Structure 1
Amino acid sequence: MYYLNCMRTVTVLLLGFIIFSAQAGVVINTTRVIYNEGKRETSVRLTNTDEKPFLVQSWIDTGNDNETPSSIQVPFVITPPINRINAGKGQSVRIFYTEGELSKEQESVFWLNVLAVPSKSKKASQENHLQMAFRTRIKLFYRPSALKGSSSDAVNQLIFNPVASGLKIDNPTGYHISITNVSVNVDGVKYSTEGTMISPKSTKGFYFDDLKNIPKGSEITISYIDDYGALNVYKSKPK
């Protein structure tokens, strides 16, 4: 696989989320991919919402968005890696697992990249023309069969530990928990901070401006993304 050579191209990087825009041209039908162990393959659907064709390259990386497809080693194969999608048409991209050494006890996370380059008109080809290439990255989770339930079930097992100026959230499960926001209500005042993804069996700290401590019984609210890409809310009161 080679990296598309886009002269005078500006690449717009969309981390984790999809912008459904006619300007972007090619959109993905999901915001994340769950690849369950034992499944022969999975697929995503790409749709060209623009009025011109796009050349599309797809690949998977391990988290370093600066790596080129030819230098990446992952236990997945994508077909087709490069394809043309005409205006108003769609194309399914198939993902195959190639039996790499991944954990049997917890999820492994990768990133699916889709780079879409619009075709140029004959007139534009003869002129100095700024061509916009749009790159979308979404998470791909490899989920071993030993894990039961879903990431939403795992949220119920999170442990909230208040600390100075914030709290630490412990994820004892084998799931990645994608948190978008964390807030706490203290004496009628709401404090909020941005979220992040908590890896399996790890802890993340979340801190709030102008908050010294979180009293016992204060309501903590987290917003998280489930397996279907939907935003959900979970509330807890540390004892």
Structure 2
Amino acid sequence: MPVQRKHNLFFIQTLSTLFMLFLVLLSAPVKASIVITGTRVIYSQGERSVSVKLNNNGKSPVLIQSWVDDGVMSKSPDTSTAPFIVTPPINRVDPGKGQTLQISFTGKQLPSDKESVFWLNVLEVPARNSSKKDDNFLQIAFRTRIKLFYRPQTLEGKSIEAPDKLEWKTVDGKLQAINKTPWNVSLSGVKANGKKTEGKMIAPFDAELFPLQVRHGQTIHFDVVNDYGAVTEKSAAVQ
């Protein structure tokens, strides 16, 4: 019996060690090799196409697949109905090299009185080492998504002016931002009373609530992300 207990103890210790090793592997930092230049794509009406630059900062070649969706992450390139074509849709990028994607609008009718939002997807699959084709291995695919804004020519004003036109109000003690412009306003954070909450994108002619307790006349601060991905802090009074 003592021998049996010793074996059981060894078995339990081995399982614990393997489990801890598994957790360490899961928590280890894993990064995508492909880096997209820019944090958003602006597609102005009338342009034949827009370019997006990719770079492979990794040490191995990767295969990438690129497509645009309408915001539903579960949609694949085959099921997406977004009116954009990405060229090339599939290609290989060697380490230290780059690739330029061309995004073209198919001409589908979109609202002319406001911006429309879509998402550019870049799926990255590392190349498999042919010398280890018979070995068991874990292959991780990375998917990067950035927003694509379709911008009609007929919009009044400028996108850079939209954040200053937000109306801030209190609704049941919470902070509400109202966007009465035709532009999407992207906020990376909102702060009031020394507390900060995550930002949101406020769609044209829409509003968003933030979990911050505010009162009339109080000054709040918010971080705006512009067309180039730069962040600027602004302030406004709660109406």
TM-score scaled by length of structure 1: 0.84
Q: Name the structure 2 match of 1:58.
A: 66
Q: Name the structure 1 match of 2:204.
A: 200
CA distance in 1, matches of 2:156, 2:95: 41
Aligned partners of 1:75 and 1:100 also within 8 Å: yes
Partner of 1:155: helix, strand, or coil? helix
Could you tell me which of 99, 117, 131 is aligned with 1:91? 99
Alignment of structure 1 residues 130-145 onto 2, 5 Å:
130-145=138-153
Identity %: 42
Partner of 2:141: helix, strand, or coil? strand
Change (3 A) 1:53 1:206: same
Q: Which has the larger radius of gyration?
A: 2
| Consecutive aligned runs of 4 or more in structure 1 exceeding 3 Å deviation | none
How far apart are residue 206 of structure 1 and its match? 1.1
Q: Name the structure 1 match of 2:126.
A: 118
> How far does the alpha carbon of each residue in 1:39-80 deviate from its partner, in whole angstroms, 9 at most, with x for none?
111010011111111101000000111111101112111100
How far apart are residue 98 of structure 1 and its match? 1.1
Partner of 2:160: helix, strand, or coil? helix
CA distance in 1, matches of 2:218, 2:210: 15
Q: Name the structure 1 match of 2:35.
A: 27
Structure 2 residue identity aligned to 1:108: S
In structure 2, list runs of 5 or more residues that go unmatched: 1-28
Matched, 1:230 2:220: no
CA distance in 1, matches of 2:209, 2:33: 38
Structure number having the greater helix percentage? 2
Partner of 1:131: helix, strand, or coil? coil
Q: Which fold has the larger relative contact order, with Cα–Cα distance below 8 Å and residues 6 or more apart in sequence?
A: 1
Partner of 1:123: helix, strand, or coil? helix
Aligned partners of 1:150 and 1:227 also within 8 Å: no
Alignment of structure 1 residues 138-217 onto 2, 5 Å:
138-185=146-193, 190-208=194-212, 211=213, 214-217=214-217
Structure 2 residue identity aligned to 1:99: G
Partner of 2:73: helix, strand, or coil? coil
How far apart are residue 152 of structure 1 and its match? 2.4
Aligned partners of 1:106 and 1:200 also within 8 Å: yes
Partner of 1:232: helix, strand, or coil? strand
Aligned partners of 2:223 and 2:231 also within 8 Å: yes
Partner of 1:153: helix, strand, or coil? helix
Aligned partners of 2:54 and 2:98 also within 8 Å: yes
Q: Name the structure 2 match of 1:3.
A: none
How far apart are residue 162 of structure 1 and its match? 1.5
How far apart are residue 148 of structure 1 and its match? 4.5
Structure 1 residue identity aligned to 2:72: N
CA RMSD of aligned residues (A): 1.6
CA distance in 2, matches of 1:178, 1:91: 28
Further displaced range: 176-185 or 24-33: 176-185
Structure 2 residue identity aligned to 1:90: G
TM-score scaled by length of structure 2: 0.84
Structure 1 residue identity aligned to 2:90: I
> How far does the alpha carbon of each residue in 1:174-204 deviate from its partner, in whole angstroms, 9 at most, with x for none?
111111211113xxxx132222111100011
Structure 2 residue identity aligned to 1:199: A
